[in-house]
Amino acid sequence: MIHQGLTPNNVSYNTLIHGLCQLGYLREANNLFKNMHTNGNLPNTYTYSILLDGLCKQGYLGKAFGLFRTMQSTYSKPNLVMYNILIDALCKSGNLRDARKLFSELFVKGLRPNAQIYTTIINGLCKEGLLDEALEAFRNMEEDGCPPDEISYNVIIRGFLHHKDESRAVQLIREMRDRAFNADAGITSW
């Protein structure tokens, strides 16, 4: 781009970094990220989200958290998307202790978790068989002013069904239907 006399902006950089991350070229994405500074473009929250997601999907959680902490201390405040990326990666790696800690950090930072973040932590808890804790998080959603959505219901119901707790799954299906939500096809055919 630069060699052709074009001046890249954040949209250009973000598009290229996103494409490189999608293809698994994290080193190149990171070089381009560093190049942004050289060319006078400061990364924005979207840039950081792209890199965090790329690092997490490739299993570089340590590097992702390093980037996250650097961003917090030098550039901008993290948003819910970034927290969700990291919480999801921690849950998928089986590190629920740190996922819970990061989830709690949201409240300390004055951020209110949305349904997507609650669903991510609920899914992680269900996968580890921590159904009581998952149900507690599910119930806390409403108390925290974030009513569960259709996806949240389907995730927790699947968790109960997977762990052979049909009675609580059926109770949640009834509750879900009372709220005019639909269960996934895999749940209704259970």
HEC per residue, 154-189: HHHHHHHHHCCCHHHHHHHHHHHHHCCCCCCHHHHC
For residues 48-65, average pLDDT: 95
pLDDT of 40: 82
State how far the Cα of 107 lies from the Cα of 117, in Å rounded to an integer: 12
Question: Which domains does the chain show, CATH number per domain?
Answer: 1-78 (1.25.40.10), 80-190 (1.25.40.10)
| pLDDT tens-digit map of 106-132 | 999 999 999 999 999 999 999 999 999
Structure tokens at 70: 């650097």
Local confidence band at 74 (pLDDT 50, 70, 90 cut-offs) = confident
Task: Spell 128-138 as b/e; 16+ CB within 10 A means b.
Answer: eebbebbbebb
